[in-house]
Structures are given as structure tokens and as C-alpha cells.
A and B are shown apart, each in its own frame.
Chain A
Amino acid sequence: MSNSNGADSNSEKLTENTSVESIKKYLTFVSDNLIFGIDASYITEIIINHNITFLPIVPYYIKGIINLRGQIIPIIDIRLKMGKPENIKEDGSNCIIVLNIDSTMLGIMVDNVQQVLDIDTSKISPPTVNNCEELVNGMVTLSDGSTVLTIDCDVIKRT
């Protein structure tokens, strides 16, 4: 929500006043060789190698539920959610980012996490029109030349 709004309002501002900067912290992670960024304010913690309990009936992209210190949290595989092949590691390890989106707790399973970056939200451009990854609401190019796709947390929450 704040992301998309930020992008819209900031693109308007760009035409008027380019000097206004709004820096936000983003955590970047890799999934299927793509770099994604997620607003760090949503992130509760990052856990690795947690035991996931399989849950029947639910859609394939929900890997199951975990017990995080007594809290039951559903886990979404970002790869499967985006229609990409599952990343099966031989040692069974996994990496989960636990998010708290408007007090809905859920975890997303990613290949690995990278770093926390300061990203100027005014520099985030909206995704291209033929972009079918509904999870992504923006793109930004970093100083090292790599491109980060920003994730819309509201879309994740909406199942």
C-alpha cells in the first residue's frame, strides 16, 4: 500500500521537484536468480532451516505452517506463487522471511537473503505494462547496476 502510493505520488513530485528524496529501507533477497526488495518495516525476522508442517487442501504455493515460538504462521513459497519451479535443496534447508503486514503474520520462502539497502522511493519506477508478476509493484536500479524488483506486501496478504 505505502509502496504503491509512494511510487505514484513520488512520480508526480518528480516532475515538480526532483530534489525531494524519500529514503526507505529495503531488504533484498534472491528468488530464481531475480533480486527482489521488500519494505523492511514489514519484516519481523529472518529464520532459516525451520521445520515446516505440510497442510493439506491449501493451494500448492502455501508450503504449510510453522510454529514460531508458539505462534502458528503460514508459509508462502515465493517461487511457486510467481509460477516458477520449486527450488528443492538437497539438504532440505530453507530461508524464511517472517512478515507482519497489518498484523497478519506470514512467512515467505526465498532462496536466500542479501542485504538491507536504502532506496529512494522516488526513484522506483512502476513495473512495465506487460509485467505479469502481480507481486511486483516497482523496479529500481541500484548504483552497482543491478535491478531490484519491489514486492507489494498487500498483494501477498490478499492470498
Chain B
Amino acid sequence: MDNGMDNMLDMYLFETNSLLEQLDSILLNAEKSKLFTVDDVNEIFRIMHTIKGSSAMMEFSSLMKIAHKTEDLFFIIREKGVETFDAVCSEAEHHELFNLVFNTIDFMRSEIEKIENDEPLTDNIDQELEKIKDFIDKINTHLGNAQNSDSTESTNTETVAQSAGKEQNKAVNEDLPDKSPYFLKIFFDEGCGMENLRAFMLVTAIKDVCSDFTFYPQDIETNSETSHQIIDSGFLMGFNSKEALDKSLAVLKGQSNIYTYETIENEQPAKEEKSSSNETAAKTEKKETKAPKPVSNSSSSSHSLQNKQSLISVNLSKLDSLMAIVGEIVITESMVTSCPELAGLKLDSFTKSARQLRKLTDELQDISMSIRMVPISGVFQKMNRIVRDMGQKLNKDVELVLIGEDTEVDKAIVDCIGDPIMHIVRNSMDHGIEETAEERIKNGKNPKGKITLKAEHTGSEVVISIADDGKGMDTQAILEKAARNGILTKPESEYSKKEILNLTLIPGFSTNEQVTEFSGRGVGMDVVKKNIEQVGGVVSISSELGEGTCTTLKIPLTMAIVDGMEIAVGKSIFTIPIHNIRQSFKVSASEIIHNVDNSEVIKRMDEFYPVFRLHELYGLQTDVTNIEDGIIIWVEAGDKSYCLFVDELLGGQQVVVKPLPAYLNDFNIKNSGIAGCTILGDGNISVILDISNLYLKAQNIN
């Protein structure tokens, strides 16, 4: 039971969050085009209605009330006709409406967050309700006036349709309940509210166990007035078999807020059933035609039903374990096919089956990886809101351009990059874009600022760039600030431009002199760096003074499986991720340049790179100590580029990254250049190197 409740809560949170997101994007689009379309209003109405219903079911009253009030607001807009509303309301009022709804969404979000964190919900929501109510009153007076003067016909059609529905309902109510052999009369808890919706939930729940039943009143989903009817005379459900009734009773007992129920056996039709089976058959047919009615009542709800059927939501941890098992299968497959005992044997059919197996495991791996892939658009869309809100508060006119929203990345990565991207966008809004349009015009720029969010695939990585056309970063100012904060590690004159820009990523650095509401607490960029590095990515910044700043995040597509190069040092085998390797080559002793401290340096493509000997770094025993005997691997990670000296290359292989035992975490192993380990085809373990941390380790030694 507890578990069921948790699942329900999960579903609720997931559903409500995605509805709010949907709402956000509808509103943003509507705001951009400065008017609501009929579809928009219907959609908003539907969303609020769903949130209201599910919140009521979960007994989150603050959310329910807010959603209810907002629903009222849009009900009025819908009722009076969207065109009338658009025509009557001034721009300022439009603006107010958007702000009001956005605020409401934010409030709901904060409430949802509270639910997620197991905190108590806000009790006092009068203020929020009052705001909406004030606005409703305001537009009511407006619309009332307008309605008197002009279009009444276009708006009334809906009410007419509704009352027609009601009449039909009454007719149904009078004659039909007699025909089913069994009836269930349900009363809900007094004052629980939303009786019609509760009844609808019940209907949906019972639909899962049996499809053949009728219920009265029928338009519970769409007509909130039916709740009075339910309060007064109960909610009636008709079943035509004892079995169906029993099943439904079981469901009923699991539902909350039900005060009482009674079963009514309708003797007469039962007898009829015995006497003339033909007639009952006809009746059931009749009922069947009735049943789908509430579904087809509103086209939008039936539409969403179809969507739901092709999508399922799965717990991420299940996908994680699926991924782990697939990883094991890939390894085991190569263990079997490259088994040393098979060497030298000529096994035609085995080779054939092995090849088939290989093909299938590859496919399996691709599919299981693609399951975890989600488009990045969710993260990008959120930025619309931030740009809008901040633009209003800071009085900056900024346009957000999204490119490559459809790019798919691992779900775990999407979760990790939301915050960093938000930080960067905020930074761009706050510090990047010029304070005033005049300043931009003076510099020969479009008065409207522009922030471009772009995502693209490049082989094994996804590259996300956030570019603004603002004032850019002043390297001199950064350097001075860094000197004041005491985070410089060498004389100022020795810093290259790239290094200076990277200073902004160091904890405790913030270029803004003043702390603003949005940024400038000096925690932004280093958090960005930390989050991105957590998923194995790198952050780089480029900026031209007066032209803008571009922050680039490079993130590996997935963390679970990497293409690796196996290398040997002494008896140990290491794996270097292929994407870190630029080149591998042999050198002659004369190419090695010795520095003052006797460290080795090599010149490649007109630049000097340090050479680290892996066996020295890790204290490994090896016979290969002459630089000409081994091989040099030129590696690169983020802004660090250097050469590693190893014994030999063993070849490339796809490896599944396994974390090292938690027991070893105490030895600071992660910061010494070891990212994890992997199991090779022969069952041996290879240690995966972390190229960027290895550099730090090497620097500490030298």
C-alpha cells in the first residue's frame, strides 16, 4: 500500500511538472505573439483542470485551490470568447495576465518542490488567490461592458452546448439506471470538494478492471455542476454482472474520501435477463455505445490518451541496471569469442554464430543506450522563462535563439546540465548584455540583445554553447580582480588570454562588483565547472571585448561505455579514453628537450608539451625506461595538453566503465588520475585514466 502511494506520488509529480512545463511554453509563445488563440486557452484550461483534479486526489489543497482559481480565470476568458478578450483588454492588462499566470506557475512549482522534499505545504494562499480574484473581477467588468455592446452570439455557443448536454443527461438519468441488474450508489466524504472529479477518478480506476459499466451523471469530467447532484443523490454506477460489481467493489475499497456506498440489486432486469437473452444483448450494446462517450466528449483529452499509450515512464534506476547488464553482456561476449582455448581451432559454425551474436549485442547496446537518450529541448525551454523574467526585471530586451534542441543526450547528463546552463544564461543576462539599448546602439549593435543556445553532436561528445553578443569580458579587469582575491598562482604578465578567462571558473571569483538578485555571489561559474566535470565534461570560455562571450560545454554522450585505448606499462594495463588522445608516436632521444628542473619537454606542431612518464608517476616496475623504446601518447583534456610516455599500445577496445570500490575512495584515488576501471575480455582488470586529473598529479610530483 505504501509503495502504491509512493508510485502515485511519483506519477503525480512527474505529470504535474510536465504540465507546468507545457504551460510555460504555451504562455511564452502566446506572450511573444501578444494574443491567445482559442487552442491556447483550451489547453491552459485543460492543464489547470488536470492539475486541480490530481491535486485534489492527492489532497494537496493549496495546489488544488490555486489551480481551481486559475481555471476559473481561463474559464471566463473561454466563456466570453478569446477574441473578445484579446480585443477588449489593453496591452497592460495582457501583460498583467501573463505575469499573474507566470507567478502562479512559480508558486505551484515551489509547492511541488515542497512535496518533493517532504515539507509541509503553504497553508495561507489567500494572497495568491486574492490576486487572481482581483484580476478576474477586473476583466469581468471589462468583458461585461464589452459583451453588452457587441458580440454575444459567438460566445454563447458553448454554454448552449453545455446546457444541451445537461438536458440529455437528465433524460438519461431518468430511464437508463433501471436496466442494469446491479447498481452501486456512492457518497463521498462531506465537504471533500470536487465530487465530480473524484467520481471520474473512480470511473477511470474501475475501467482498469472492467469495461462494461455505466455511470450517472455522465458528464462528470467536464461539468463541475454535477458535483451538486452527486452530493445530493449520490453517484450511481450500473453493472450488468455480479462479477463486475465485485471487482469494482474491490477497487472502491482502495479509494480515499468515500464516505459510504450501497449496492442495489435491480431484480427486474435480472429476471428479464433470464427470460430473454436477446434483449440484454441489445442492451449491453447500447451501453457500450454510451461508455466511450465521456472520452470523446473533448477531443483534446482523447488525444492525450493516445499519446500516453505509446509512452511509458520508467524508473531511471531500472535503466541503469539494464545498462549495467548490457555492459556485462558485451564483455562476456568478447570473453567467449576471444577465449584463448579456441585459438588455432577452425570452427566455421562457431565463428558464424559468434559473428551473429556480436551483431545482436551491438544492437542491444545501441538500443539500451538510446532508451536513456532524451532531447535537450526540456532544458533549453526553461531558459526562455529565465531570459523573459530577467529581461523584465533588468529592463533589457534580449532574444533567446535555440539551435539543435532535438539533440539527444543521456538522461543523467540532461539532469546535470540544467543548472550550469541556467547559471551561464543568467551571467550573460546580468553581466554580458549591455545595461541599456543606447549603449548597444552606440557600439553599433542591434538594440535587442541576443543569446544563442546551441547543442550539437560531434562523434562521441555533445557540444553545448551559450553565446551572447554583449560586452564581452575585460581580461585586464579579470586579472586585477583575481589578483585582489589572491587566486593568482604566477606573475600577472605570464597569463595567457585563455588562462585569464579560465580564472573565472575558479571558486570564489565573480567579476561583478555588486551582488545582484540573479548572480554575483561568486559561486556561479565554479559550480558550473564542477557540475560539468561530474559528468565527465569540460568547460571553456572564449570572449572578445565588445563582441560577446561564448561558453562551451563539451560532454561525453554517455558515461557508461567509452572507446578506450589499452596501453601497457610494466605488468599493468591502463585504458585511456580515445577522445583524449590526439596522437601517438615514437621519438628519438634528440627530440626530447630537458628543462631546468630536468623535466622532459617535447615540441609538436610548434608548441612545447611536457612529457610525463607513467611508470614514474605511478611508481611501476618496467624494463622500458629508454624514451626511444616506448611510445609517446599526446593526450588532451579540456585546456590541458601533454604527452605520456608508456611501454606500448595494445589496441583499442570499447570498455564499460566500472567505479572503483568505495573502500578505495579514502585514498584520494580520483584526484590522482584514475577514473575507474574496466574488465577486459580475458577477465583481467584495466585501470581507466583520467587525463585531466593525471596532469594535476604530475604537476604535484614535479
A residues bordering B, Cβ < 8 Å?
A: 51, 53-59, 62, 65-67, 70, 72-74, 104-106, 157, 159
Contact = CB atoms under 8 A, between A and B. Distances in A.
Contacts of A59: 667
B619 interface: yes
A10 to B, nearest CB: 30
B663 A74 contact: yes
Contact of B679 (A55, A58, A70, A105): A70
Contacts of A55: 664, 669, 674, 687
Contacts of B669: 55, 57-58
B663 A104 contact: yes
Contacts of B572: 53-54, 56
Given A51-B683, A62-B664, A65-B677, 20 more contacts: A51-B684, A53-B684, A53-B687, A54-B571, A55-B669, A55-B687, A56-B572, A56-B617, A56-B618, A56-B674, A56-B687, A57-B667, A67-B683, A72-B660, A72-B661, A73-B661, A104-B663, A106-B661, A106-B663, A159-B666
Range of interface residues on chain B? 20 to 34
Interface of B: 328, 571-572, 617-620, 658-664, 666-669, 672, 674, 677, 679, 683-687
A57 B667 CA distance: 8
Nearest to B668: A57
Contacts of A66: 685
A157 B666 CA distance: 11
Nearest to B662: A104
B520 to A, nearest CB: 39
B683 A56 contact: no
Contact of B661 (A51, A53, A54, A65): A65
Contacts of B618: 56-57
A58 B683 CA distance: 22
Nearest to B328: A70
Given A67-B679, A104-B663, A72 B619 contact: no
Please provide the 3 A-B residue pairs with the shortest distance between their CB atoms, ordered closest to farther: A56-B618, A53-B685, A57-B672
A104 B665 CA distance: 12
Contacts of A57: 618, 667-669, 672, 674
B663 A67 contact: no
Contacts of A70: 328, 679
A58 B664 contact: yes
Given A51-B684, A66-B685, A67-B684, A56 B664 contact: no
Nearest to B660: A72
A65 B660 contact: yes
B675 to A, nearest CB: 13
7 contacts: A54-B571, A54-B572, A57-B668, A57-B674, A58-B667, A65-B664, A65-B685
Contacts of B660: 65, 72, 74
Contacts of A106: 661, 663
Contacts of B617: 56
Contacts of B685: 53, 65-67, 72
A52 B685 CA distance: 9
Contacts of B666: 159
A6 B664 CA distance: 29
A41 B669 CA distance: 30
Contacts of B677: 53, 65, 72
A48 to B, nearest CB: 16
B663 A56 contact: no
Nearest to B676: A72
Nearest to A65: B685
Nearest to B686: A53
Most-contacted residue by chain B among A51, A53, A57, A74 (CB, 10 A): A57
Contacts of A53: 572, 677, 684-687
Contacts of B683: 51, 67
A67 B660 CA distance: 11
A86 to B, nearest CB: 15
Nearest to B574: A56
Contacts of B686: 53
Contacts of B662: 104
A65 B572 CA distance: 12
Nearest to B327: A70
A56 B620 contact: yes
Contacts of B667: 57-59, 62, 159
A51 B682 CA distance: 11
B234 to A, nearest CB: 54
